[in-house]
Amino acid sequence: MIGILNIAILGFGNIGSGVAEVLERNRTKIAEALGENVAIRYILDKRDLSDTIYGDRAVRDFDVILKDPEVSVVCEMLGGTQPAFDYSMAALRAGKSVVTSNKEVVARFGDLLLAAAKENGVRYLFEASVGGGIPLLHAFDDSLRGCVISRIDGILNGTTNYILTRMHDCASGFEDALQEARRLGYAEANPSADISGADAFRKICILAAMAWGGLVSGDAACCEGISAVTQEHNAFASRCGGTVKLVATAAREEELLSLSVSPCVVMDDNPLSAASGVFNAVKIAAGDLGDVMFYGMGAGKYPTASAVISDILAAAEKKASERPRLFTAYPYPLVDPAEWRTDYCLSVRCHRDALGERLPAYCVLHEADGVLDLLCEDISKKTLLEAMAGIEVLMLMRAVV
C-alpha cells in the first residue's frame, strides 16, 4: 500500500487553488514520482470555503496545522511578509518543511528561514518565488553549484515584460499597454511593485543569494521602473539593434556586487530577447559551463503551482538536506550604480570626429541627421557622462549585449 504525504496550504488564492488543482490533475504522475500520494489535509484562508470541495479541510486557526504531527509540508502562498514569516518560522520550528511562492518573505527573511530549516532538520524551498514555473533555483543547488558564477541577467517580471512587448508590437503608450495588461489579468489592481521594478529587484536579490550566498537588503537606488518608457526609447533601441526590456542584473567581481533593475536595450542576438510577453528568462554566466539560459512562464496560476509542487516533492523525498543551503546577510555595500562598469547605448548629437578623444572605445550603431547612436562597453555611467560633457545626450540606456 502506497503512503500518504499530508500537506497544508496557507492562502487559497490564485496559486494556492492552482496547487490543489494540479495535484489532483497530475495525481498519477506525482504518485509515481514520489512513491506516495499527496493529500491536502488543511487549507487556511480567510474566505469561506464551505461551498467548495475543500470545505471539510478549511481552517482559520494556524495552530491546528502547527499542532498536527501528520502535516509534514506547509505550502505558504499568503503573499506579503506577515503573517507569512511568522507562520513559516513556526512551521519550520515544529519540524515541518515549508515551500513558498512568496518572494517578499524570501528576499527579506530568507537567511533566517533557511537557518531555521537547518536547525530543525527540514527544508525551506522557494522555487516558485523567482521565474514562476521555470526550473531555476533547483539548478543552483544542483548543476550549477560547482560553477563560478560571475553574472546573472533576468527578465523577471511578466507584467512589465508584457507591457513593454505590447508597447513595441502595437506602438501603444505605457498607459494603454498597462490597461490592456489589466484587462488580460496580467497586471494586478495595484501593479506598483511590478512597474517600479521592486518585484524584479526582490527576485534578483534572491538569485544573487543563490549564486553567492549573501542576501542583500533592498536598495532602491539600484531600481528603475518602466513608467517613463516611451516610443522614443523603442525607436532608439530599434536603431541600436535591440528592444527595450526591464532587465534585472547581478554582477560580481571579487567582493564587489552590483545589482540593477532598469529598462535596457537588449540586443537582438542576446538570447534574452526571445522572452516576449509574459515569459521570463534568466541568463547566467557560469564560468566554465559558459552562458546558460532558462526560459518559461514567469507567472500564472498553473506554472507557479507546478513549481510549488516540485518543491513539495523535493521536501518530501529529502526531508533534511545533507548540505543545507544558507544565506548570510551580505556584508559589503553594493557598488554605486553610477560607478558600475557595464555597457550602455546612448544617442548623442555630435560629429564622429568629436568622439575619439572623449571615449576610449565605442561602436557607432546608427547615424542619421547628425545624431549618433553608440554602444559603449565596460564603462561606468559616471565616466560616460563626464566624457560627454558639453555634448547633447538624447538617450542613455543600459545595454545587455
User: For a copy of itself, how many residues bind (rule: CB under 8 A)?
Assistant: 55
Q: How many other CB atoms are found less than 10 A from the CB of residue 262? A: 19
Q: What is the DSSP string of 45-110?
A: -SS--TTSTTGGGEES-HHHHHT-TTEEEEEE---SSTTHHHHHHHHHHTT-EEEE--HHHHHHHH
Binding of a copy of itself by 26 (CB under 8 A) = yes
CA distances for 299 relative to 192, 277, 310, 323, 362, angstroms: 16, 11, 15, 30, 38
**Among 109-117, 132-140, 173-181, 370-378, which window interacts with a copy of itself (CB under 8 A)?**
132-140
Closer Cβ to a copy of itself, 45 or 127, answer by number: 127
Coil, helix or strand at residue 37: strand
Q: What is the nearest approach in angstroms of a copy of itself to the Cβ of residue 49?
A: 22
Q: What is the nearest approach in angstroms of a copy of itself to the Cβ of residue 17?
A: 13
Binder of a copy of itself out of 3, 13, 35, 185 (CB under 8 A): 35
* DSSP label of 387: H
Binding of a copy of itself by 286 (CB under 8 A) = yes
Closer Cβ to a copy of itself, 78 or 137, answer by number: 137
CB 233 within 8 A of CB 395: yes
Q: What is the nearest approach in angstroms of a copy of itself to the Cβ of residue 64?
A: 27
- Which amino acid would we find at residue 366? H
Region 136-155 residues binding a copy of itself, contact defined as CB under 8 A: 138-139, 142-148
Instruction: Count how many Cα atoms sit within 13 Å of the Cα of residue 290 in the half-sphere of its side chain.
Output: 2
Binding of a copy of itself by 303 (CB under 8 A) = yes
Q: What is the nearest approach in angstroms of a copy of itself to the Cβ of residue 217?
A: 24
Q: Which grid coordinates are listed for 318?
A: 529529502
Q: Is residue 382 among the annotated active site residues?
A: no
Alpha carbon distance 166, 173 (integer Å): 9
**Among 40-48, 187-195, 232-240, 311-319, which window interacts with a copy of itself (CB under 8 A)?**
311-319
Q: What is the nearest approach in angstroms of a copy of itself to the Cβ of residue 286?
A: 7
Phi-psi region of 219 (alpha: psi -120 to 50; beta: other; left: phi over 0): beta
Q: Which of 70, 42, 46 is nearest to 56 (CA)?
A: 42
Catalytic residue among 96, 203, 301, 381: 203
* DSSP label of 41: E
Closer Cβ to a copy of itself, 218 or 324, answer by number: 324
Q: Which residues bind a copy of itself (CB under 8 A)?
A: 22, 25-26, 29-30, 33-35, 127, 133-135, 138-139, 142-148, 269, 271, 273-276, 279, 281, 283, 286-297, 300, 302-303, 305-307, 309-310, 313-314, 317, 322-323
Active-site amino acid positions: 203
